[in-house]
Amino acid sequence: MSIRSTFGIDAFELIVHAAVTAILIAWVNRLNSGADAFIFSSMVGIGSLVTLSIRRRFGLRRSPTVGITTGEMAAERLAELEQRMAELEAAQAQVAELAERLDFAERLLAQAPTDRRELAPGEPR
C-alpha cells in the first residue's frame, strides 16, 4: 500500500503536515508553562489529526481507485498484465526476426570473400 492510497496525500504533504504540527506544538509549549502547555499542545495535536482526516477524506475522494471493488481491481490488473504479455511477445518476435536477419547478413559476409573472383581490368562487373 502506498502513502497516497492510505492517507489520500503524498509523502511530502504528510511530512509538511507533521512538521507544521511539531512547530505549532513547540510554539505553544514555549508560550505557556505547566498544565496550560499540555492542554494547548493536546488541542494542537487533536486539531492536526482532525485536519489530516479532512485532508484524507478529500484526497481519497479525488483518487481514481476509490469505489473500485477488489474484484474489479483484480480484473484491471489482469487486463494490464495480459497487455504487457502481448507487448512482450511482440518484442520477442521482433528480436527473433532481427536475429535471423543478422545471421543471414553474417553468412553473406562470410561467403563473400570466397565467391569473389578477380576481375581483369576492362572486364564488366
Structure confidence by residue, pLDDT tens digits, 92-115: 999 999 999 999 999 988 885 655
Q: Is the dihedral of CA 71, 76, 82, 88 positive or negative?
A: negative
> How much of the chain exceeds pLDDT 70, in percent?
79
The pTM for the full model equals 0.45
Q: Residues 94-116, buried b or exposed e (16+ Cβ, 10 A)?
A: eeeeeeeeeeeeeeeeeeeeeee
| C-alpha grid cell, residue 91 | 518484442
pLDDT surpasses 90 at 83: yes
Task: Identify the CA nearest to 61 among candidates 113, 120, 4, 123.
Answer: 4
pLDDT higher than threshold 70 for residue 66: no
Q: Is residue 67 predicted with pLDDT exceeding 90?
A: no
Question: Can you give the pLDDT at residue 22?
Answer: 93
Residues with Cβ within 8 Å of 65's Cβ and at least 6 positions away in sequence, in order, are 5, 73
Does the pLDDT at position 60 exceed 70? yes
For cell 562487373, what's the residue? 125
Residue 21 has pLDDT above 80, yes or no: yes
Confidence of residue 32 (pLDDT cuts 50, 70, 90): confident
